[in-house]
Structure 1
Amino acid sequence: MHEKEIEEKIQKLPENLRREVLDYLDFLLGKYQGRENSRGKFKFDWEGGLSEIREEFTSIELQHKALEWR
């Protein structure tokens, strides 16, 4: 990858900016670390969640209601 290029650029930075780079790397790792584990097939665990109101509302009515709630 670009490890050598990154290392060369970091070596040129003053010490206080190197600490900022480390902080930013920690931020990026924390932000994207959980996303890799959650990738995969979509789960339909919500399926049937509104089945008890099936006779009361149509799908269009529920869509309109969802727009109101936003």
Structure 2
Amino acid sequence: MQDVEKILSQLPPEARRELMDYAEFLLHKYGKKRGKRPNGFTFSWEDKLKDVTITSVELQHKASEWRANVSD
């Protein structure tokens, strides 16, 4: 790790920013694969709709209304 820190300290500020951007990209790219399930499905959406108060039946009725409006 000291080698990395030594190299970083010798880089100009703009190059350090580029290196950090690239490191964050790699972390995002390879970090996702580690937590994936075999079929690729994740629960990243979990708890995103916890504040929604519409029921599934109400949503079905709304969808029917929207479809009716599109075909008019």
Q: Could you state the TM-score of these two structures normalised by the residue count of structure 2? A: 0.48
TM-score normalised to the size of structure 1? Answer: 0.50
